[in-house]
Structure 1
C-alpha cells in the first residue's frame, strides 16, 4: 500500500488535560513511526532536576518499562488467531524526536486538518519516528514478527503534549495495576516535581523525592541499597523503592490516591497546594508535618530512624530485604502514633532490639516475616509488653517469649 503521506479520519476528544484525537492506524504504520523512551536516571545530567531539604537528585527521563520478549511473543501469536481483538486504545504523544526534542519542521510534523462539517483528519507526512508510545508498547511491537501487520489498531493521539505529561498519563493508567513494576510507576511522580514548588506536591511525589534522596545522597544510610527499578538505577539490594515509598506514605496519608485526585483538581498555576487537603480525613501520624510543609522535619525523622536501623540491625540479613524494611516502617508508624516523634529517642528504641537474633529460624517464614519483625521490635524496644499483642497462635507466642527472654 502507498503509505506516506497518510490522511486518516479522526475524532476529536476534549478533556481537561488537553485535546486528543482518536484514529485507526494499521500496525505496520505504527511499527514505522513509533518509538519508546525507557525510564532512565541520568546520573551525569548537567543540571539535577530538584533540590529540596538540601539535597539534589538526578534527572529522570522516559516513562516506559523494558519490553518483555515473552509478552511480545504471546501477543504475536495472538495477532495471528482467527479471533484476535485489540479494543483498548494505544496512546501516542507525537511531534517529539527520539531524543525528546519538539519537532517544528512543518514538512514532517503530524498535523490535524479540520473540515467545516466537524470532521477531522490526522496527517502523517513521513515515516520519521515522531510518535512516542505513552501506553501500549507491547501491543505495538508484538506485531513486529506477525503476518497480520495490516490489522487496524485504535489509537489516541496527543499532538505536542509535553513529555512530563506523557509520564503522568502512563502513571495514572498503571499505578494501581499489577502488570507494571510499581517502582517504575512511582518513579514517574518525579515529573510532578518539575512542574511546581514542593508545596504543590502530593504525598506520593514527596515520598518519591525522599526515597530518591535516600538512594543517592552520599550521607544516606541507604545509599546504593535501594532497587529503583529503572535503567541506570540498579543496585545489589533487594529493597524495593516501592517499599520505602509505601512506608513513608503510611506516615503522611491514609489514602494517597484521594489526596492526589484532590490536588489535581487545580493546576499548579491556579494555586495548587497542600492546604487543599486540610479537610481530608487521615489517621496518618505525621500528617500535620506534611500539611504544614515541614518537609525537612519529616525527612529528618525518617533519616534518623533508617540510620539507626542500619547502625543497629543491618548485621541481620532480614533487614536488607523489602519485607524487613516494611516491618521497620510499621514499627516507625507505631512510634509516631504514640509519640509523634517528639520525646522518644528513636536510636535508643532501635538499640534495645539489637540483641535479638533476627537470623533465628523463627524469622525464616516469608509469609509471617513482616509481622514477626514488627512485633519483636515493639516488645524489644519497650513500647509494649508481649501480652499486649494479639498473638493467637500459642506456638508463636512461645517463640516470641523465647526470643525476648532477656527482657
Structure 2
C-alpha cells in the first residue's frame, strides 16, 4: 500500500537532532503509523533477543481513551512522537517561509536494518491515543505530532524512556482538587465537594483530618491521616462502576443533558450513584458523615489519631470501611435513603472487635490488611 502525506511543520533544533512539529488527522495517523512492541524472540541460533521499544497495548487504557475521544472536551495537548526514515521524507521550503514535509512509502528498509516499516512511521510515544481514536472511529481529530527523522533504535529507546520515566507524577489529590473549578456536575466534582465538607465542618468525624493537596495543610498541627485522593476515590467507588462510566458521566453533564434514573438493583450495586444522578450532594455528604460518625462512636479510642500502628483512622482503615459501606447501607436501607448515625451504630455494635484490635499486626499495611478488616466487618451482618 502506497502512502503519501503532506503536512506543514516547524523545525525545532535540539541536542538529539531536529524535531519536526505538525498535525495529522487521526485517520491519517493510524494509517501511517505502526507500533514496535518490546518482545523477547527466540532466534534460530537459540539465543533469546529483546527487540522493539513500545510496551504492550493495554486494552483497558484503549477502551478508556476510545470513550474519552467522543466527549465534548476531549483533547490531547501533548504530541504523539513518531520516528520516520529519511528515505520516506522530503522537506521543501515554501515561499512564505513555511516548511512542508512530504511522507511517501510503500515499504521501506534501510541497509543497516535500523528501519523496517510496513508503514511510514514508527510510534515512539502515543500508541494508546492512536489506537483509542481508531477504536472509536474518530477520523477528524487533529493530533499534534513530533517527528524524528532517521533516529536510530538507540535514540528511539532513549526518547521513549525519557518521556515515560523522567516526568514528575502529579498528585492525585491535586488533580481531584482542580474539579472545584468545574461548572457542571460530575462524579469527581461531587466527591471533591463532599470531601471538603467533611474536612472543613466542625463536628465532622473527618474535621481537619484530610490533606487537601496530598500534603500537610498549612496552619494545621494535628495529624492529617488521610489524603484527599483516598477519600475521593473511596466515594467514587460507589458512584461509578469504572473509568469509562466516569468519563461518560462527565461528558453527559458538560453537554447539559439530564441523567437517566437507575433501577433499585443498580442502586444497590452503586449505592451513592442515585444521590449523584439526582444532584443530592447534601444528602450524600450527610450519609457519609453519619456512617463514619457511627464508627467514631463505636471505637473512639481507635478513631483518635495518636501514636503509630493504629490503622482505623488511616488509609487502610478508611478503605476497608468505605468498602464495607455498601454492605452496611444495603443491610439497613432502601436505595436513595439517608441513614442515621444511630442506625449505622446498630451494625457496628454487633462487632466483637475492640479498639486495640485495629493494629498493624492484625491488619498489616496494604491490601491484605484492608481485605481482612473488611471481612471482619462483613461478619457483623452475616
TM-score (norm 2): 0.48
Query: Bigger radius of gyration, 1 or 2?
Result: 2
TM-score (norm 1): 0.46
